[in-house]
Chains A and B, each alone.
Chain A
Amino acid sequence: MNTLPQQLANGLLLGSMYGLIAIGYTMVYGIVQLINFAHGEIFMTGAFGALTVYFYVLPDGTTMWAAVPLMLIGGAIVAILVAVGAERFAYRPLRQAPRLAPLITAIGLSLALQEVVRNFYPGADKARAFPSLDTTHDIGSVTIKDADIFLILAAVVCMASLAVFVRRSRTGRAMQATAQDPDTAQLMGIDTNRIIVIAFAIGGFFAAVAAVAYGLKYGNVDYRMGFLMGLKAFTAAVLGGIGNIYGAMLGGIVLGIAETLASAYIDEIPGMQQLGGQSWANVWAFCLLILVLLFRPQGLLGERVADRA
C-alpha cells in the first residue's frame, strides 16, 4: 500500500495547525519585533475557553454543528482577552526596555498561564477530554476525519479573510504602515498602540481557531499543549519569513510535511535505519530550518532587510 498520499495529508493537517498559530507570532513580530514566547499558552487558553463553553455553558446534548461555532467564539474570547491582556499589562510597559526584557517576561508569562490553568481549571491537572469529530471519510487511499476537514476549511477561510483584511481595510493598511515604519506611521496619524493591540488580538483569534481544531482532532486538551506547539509554530514563522503572514502559513505547512515525511520515511533510507522514526523527526525539521536559513536567511517568503537586529 502506498502511504505517501496519507502521509502528505497528515503533514498538511499538522502544518495548517502550526500555520494558524504562527500567524500570531509573525504579526506581533512584524509590528513590534517582539517574540511573544507566551503565544503557545494563548493557544492553550483558547482551547480551555472552548472547553468551558462546551461543558459549562451549552446544555447537554447540543449537536456538534451548533456547538462548534459557539466553542470557537468562546475560545476566541478567552484567547483574545489573554493576548490583549498580556500586551497591555506585561509587554507594553517594556516597550522601551532592553530588547531581551520582554523575552523573560514571556517566559514568566507562559509559566504563569500554564500554572493558572493547571491550578484553577477543574480537572486540568491532567488531560481533559474534548468533544471530537471522529467520522471518517476515505478519499482514495487517504482517510480523513471530520475534524480534519474543519481544520482545512478553517485555515483556508482564516487566511483568506486575513489577506482581505490586511489589504483592503483601513486598519489593515495601517498595520502594514506600522510594520514598515512605526515612527512615520504614528506621525501620519495612526494610533500605533491600537494597531499593536489588534495584532495581538488577531494572533489570539487564530490561535483559538487552531485550538478548537486541535481539540476536535485529538479529543483532549491539557495545560502543557501550548509549549511544543508554540515552539513549532515559532519555527514555522521563522521558516516562512517572520513578519510575513503568508510565510507563516507556508512555513507551517512545510514544517508539518517535513516532520511527517521524516518520521515516516527516513528509516527506509539505507544506512539511516536508526535515525528515523518519530523521535528523530524534530531533529530533521530543525535541520531543514537551518538549511533553509543558510540559503535564504530571510526565510521562504521574507523580505531581505538591511538590519533586523
Chain B
Amino acid sequence: MTETTKTPPADPTPAPAPHGLIPLPPAAARALLLLGSVATAASAFLAWTWTAEFPGDLTITGYPGGLQWLTFTAGVLTALLTLASYGIRGLGWLLPARNNAPLVLTAIGGFAVTWFTVIAISAELGGLANLEPGGWIAAIASLIPLIGAFALPQDGNTTDGGKEALKAYIAKPDRIPAPTPTAPWIQRAAITAVTALGLGVFTYGIDTEYGELFVGYLIVVVFTVWALHTAGLLDRFSHLIAGNRSFTLAMGFLAAIAFPFTQTNDHYANIGVNILIFGTVALGLNIVVGLAGLLDLGYVAFLGVGAYTAALVSGSEFSKFSGVQFPFWAAALTGAAASLVFGVLIGAPTLRLRGDYLAIVTLGFGEIFRIAVNNMDGDSGPDITNGPNGIPAIPDLDFFGFDFGETHDLGGFTLGRFANYYLLMVLIMAIVVLVYTRAADSRIGRSWIAIREDETAATAMGINGFRVKLIAFALGAALAGLAGTVSAHVTYSVVPTPYQFAGSTPPNSAFLLAAVVLGGMGTVAGPLLGAALLYLLPEKLVFLQDKSLLAFGIALILLMRFRPEGIIANRRRQLEFHETGQLDVPQQTTLTDEPAVTKAGA
C-alpha cells in the first residue's frame, strides 16, 4: 500500500499502446481496479474522524454515515463496472461497448468524493490530525482504483502524450453496439426501474441536510452519469424512451407525485414546490426562447402578472378588490388570461424587431412592470398593487373542503401544507408539459423552429412570422401567468421584489433564462432539470456562507464552458453545435436521429 501511494503522479512517461499512462499489465490494472473499488466501498464502514462535529457523524465503525454512503456508492459502482468488464454474466449490459472510459470515470468519482470528504474534514476541523485511521485508509483505498484505471489502455489509439492521452480515457466510443431487441414489458420494466431510481437519487439530492453532502452528491452524480454516458447506456435509454414516450411521461409524473410521500419534513416539499414553480415558468420560457428563438429578458414579469392577478382576486383583505374572491380555477384562468393580454400587448408592437433588439425591449418591459407595481400604491401612482408592501395575507386554497393550508393524513402518509401545493403544482406542470409537447409537435411548433432557424427563409415559404411569434409569446406568457397564480398562494403574499431582471436567487429573468439554457433549450426535461439545479445550488451552498454566490457564479461559467449546449441537449441543436464546432462522425448522428423520426410517426 505504501508503494502504490507514491506511484501515481511520479511517472508521466507515455507508455506504448497496450498500457495506460501508468505502466502496468492490463490484467494487474483491472485487478487493482476491482480490489481498490471494493476496498473503497469497505472503507466507508470505518470511522473517518473522531468527532461528530463534522456533519453526518463519520465516527462510527460498522456502518456508513453521510458522505461515506456516497463513497460506498461510488466504490460499488466501480466494482460492478469492473466486473462487467471482466465479462461476468448478467452484468454485460452495463458495458455494451466494453470500453474503459466508464471505469475511469467512476474511479475518478469515487476518488473525488472520498478526497473531498477527507479534505473537508481536515479543513473544517482544522488539520489532518482530525482524521481517524479509517479516513486515511479511505483516502488511500480510493486512490487504488484510480491507479488501476489509468493503467488500463485508452480506448482510442492515441499514442501522443499530454492532453489527448487524458482525453482518450474519458472519450465516448464512436460506435456503441445496437441493443438486442427486448420485449415491450422488459422495456417498460426498465423505464419504471430507472424512474424509481431517478426519484430516489433526486429525493436524496433535495434532502441533503448540509452543503458538504450536497457537493459530494453532485460529484458522484456527475461522474456516474458521465460514466453511463460513455458506456452508451444513456443513448440506449433514450432509445427506450423514444419507443415508449407516453409511458415514460406517465412514469415521470407518477414519480413527481410520489415525491411528497417520501418526505416527512414539509421543508423539502416547500423546496419541491418552489422548484416546480420555477421549472414550470422556465418551461414556458422555453417555448419563447427554445422553440421560437425569441430572446426574452423580462419573462419573470408574466409570472408577476399572474401572481398579482391571483392575489387581487384571492379575497385577501389587503387587495384592492378585497370583497372579490374567485374560486381557484377562475383565478387561475384570470391570471393566465391577464398574462396573455400583457403578452400580446407587449408582443404586438415589438415582435417586428429582430434578435437582440427584442431582448432589450423585453428587458425594458420587465423593469417597467416591477417599477410600476412598486409604485402603484396610491401615493406615487394609482392605487392598485399596494406598492412595496405588496398584497399579504392571501388565504389558502380550498378545493371542495380540502383545505390546502392544513396537514392531511392520506393512507398513512402525512401531507403538509407545501405538499398539498406541490401536488397542485404537479398538475399545473402536467398541463404545461402537455401544452408544450402538443404545441412543439404541431404545425405551429414546426413554424416556430423554422422561424428560429431562418426567419427570412421561413417567411418566404409562406409562414406568417409575426403571427407565429406572437402566438409563441402569448402562449409562453399565459403559462407563466398560470404558474404565478399558484405561487401567490404558496407564499401567502406577493411583493414586487422577486420580479427583477437579475438577482441572487430564482426566479428572476436571468435565472429563468439560465435554467433554460443550462438544462437544454427546446427540450421538456432540460429546463426542469436546469431549474432544479439552479434552485438547489444556491440553497445548498449555504455552508460556503458569504462565498456561496461567488461559487455559484463560477459554477455557471464552468457549466457553460463544458456543456454549452445544455445538460440535456436537444438532438437538433446538438447536431447544429457539432457541425459548426468540430468534425463528427456522420453515422452516429443518423443513428440517434433516425428512430425518433420513425417513432414519432408511429
Contact = CB atoms under 8 A, between A and B. Distances in A.
A232 to B, nearest CB: 10
Contact of A309 (B293, B363, B513, B518): B293
A113 B550 CA distance: 8
Contacts of A307: 354-355, 455-456
Contact of B364 (A100, A119, A290, A306): A290
Nearest to A286: B364
Contact of A100 (B295, B353, B360, B367): B295
Contacts of A286: 364-365, 367-368
Contacts of A297: 352-354, 357
Interface stretch (B217-225, B400-408, B419-427, B555-563): B555-563
Nearest to A289: B364
B283 interface: no
A299 B361 CA distance: 12
Interface residues of A, number: 53
B554 A112 contact: yes
Given A90-B561, A282-B371, A107 B550 contact: no
A282 B501 CA distance: 14
Contact of A293 (B353, B501, B513, B546): B353
Nearest to B580: A96
B381 interface: yes
A116 B550 contact: yes
B547 A289 contact: no
Contact of B360 (A104, A110, A238): A238
A105 B356 contact: no
A109 B557 contact: yes
Interface in A92-133: 93-94, 96-98, 100-105, 107-116, 118-119
Nearest to A298: B357
Interface size on B, as a range, is 35 or more
A308 to B, nearest CB: 4
Contacts of B581: 96-97
Nearest to B371: A283
A111 B557 CA distance: 10
A242 interface: yes
Interface string B316-334: 0000000000000000000
A287 to B, nearest CB: 7
B372 interface: yes
A32 interface: no
Nearest to A86: B557
A205 interface: no
B352 A105 contact: no
B380 A107 contact: no
B517 interface: yes
30 contacts: A96-B581, A98-B564, A98-B577, A103-B513, A104-B513, A104-B560, A107-B556, A108-B555, A109-B553, A111-B549, A111-B550, A111-B552, A111-B553, A112-B554, A119-B546, A119-B547, A231-B501, A238-B356, A274-B380, A279-B374, A279-B375, A279-B380, A280-B380, A280-B381, A282-B368, A287-B364, A293-B350, A293-B357, A308-B355, A309-B356
> What 9 A-B pairs are tightest by C-beta distance, nearest first?
A108-B556, A112-B553, A111-B553, A97-B564, A286-B364, A309-B355, A115-B550, A101-B564, A308-B355
